[in-house]
Amino acid sequence: MFFGFLIIFLLVSFDQITKYTAKFFLEGLNEHVKWIPGVFELSYHENTGASLGILDGQIIILMIVTLIALGIFGYLFLDVDFKHKKVYSFSIVMFIAGTLGNAIDRALLGYVIDFMHYPFLSFILTPLNISNFYNNWADMYLSAAIVLFFIELFFLEPKRKKVGTDA
């Protein structure tokens, strides 16, 4: 369990450091810093909602949902076992780190700092009435956690049950 707490601490720290670095260097710039033109850019964005602007400005609702999510992830964290259930353990740790990373921003700033932008997604997002997609490392942790948890739930856990071990 100590290993899980250590990873959460490191991931949240990295997320917060990159957000405040982006705030320091990118806030006030009226242009994107293009790393891979048309694919990946850096640009400061204050997100007062959830992913894709859902619940924009509804900080109380977002904090309640965050607390509920942290309670659920905390309960699942009790079953973390990096020796026998690596994928499950990393998914839960990443769920917690991503949720905490964005919760810290909401609690301290009233918004989440986003700074990574993917302009190549515009052709998909514009017809859906989503103009831009910005995210941060906490969001990336949450996305990876969903994929890992899905793999665990639908592939690895049934395989463990079939074999009859926790391997």
Q: Determine whether 79 is an active site residue.
A: no
- Identify the residue whose tokens are 């405040």: 20
User: Could you say which of 79, 105, 114, 166 is catalytic?
Assistant: 114
Q: Where does the chain have alpha helices with state H? A: 2-26, 59-77, 86-109, 122-125, 137-151, 157-163
Sign, CA torsion 33/35/39/40 = negative
CA distance 80 to 135: 27
User: Could you say which of 15, 79, 81, 139 is catalytic?
Assistant: 139
Q: Determine whether 166 is an active site residue.
A: no
- Identify the residue whose tokens are 């941060």: 136
Please identify every residue annotated as catalytic: 114, 139
